[in-house]
Amino acid sequence: MKLSELRVSHLLASFSVAALVISGCASSDDDEAQRLAGQLVSSLHSEDLAPRLTVDVAAALYGTDAATVCEAFDGPLSSAERIILLGNPSGRRPKTITTDSVSYVRLVVETYCPERSEYLADVVDELDPFESQ
């Protein structure tokens, strides 16, 4: 075997090992995303929320950490976040928030970032959601 062929063989072997390692990591993340999504979907369905949400869709939406939701509750809300989540304080553009949407977010936070439940509770205390039908 020539030196150049040997290098190509080693290079291909290295890529194969790297691909296996990467796919193993992705598989672990995929498994965790599926596990958390299953837990969320089960919790939601037991409270008659999001009846059409599937584990695959929840896993695609939230991954392993529901970053978009959890980052909103990583501490007290800034002024901008308060307006986005709670509405304009002048009352001209009130947010329409239902009890179902509050319950949905609570279950997402409890599933993906339970350590942030306290901040969610602070926000929920300021809401005046109307009863879902």
- Domain spans of the chain, in order of start: 29-126
pTM for this structure?
0.74
30, with CB counted inside 10 A (0-12, 13-18, 19+), is: middle
Name residues of the chain where pLDDT drops below 50. Answer: 3, 6, 8, 11, 17, 20
Structure tokens at 14: 């290295």
Nearest-angstrom CA–CA distance, 23 and 66:
22
Nearest-angstrom CA–CA distance, 105 and 101:
6
- Which pLDDT value is given to residue 86? 73
- Which pLDDT value is given to residue 113? 96
The DSSP letter of residue 115 is G
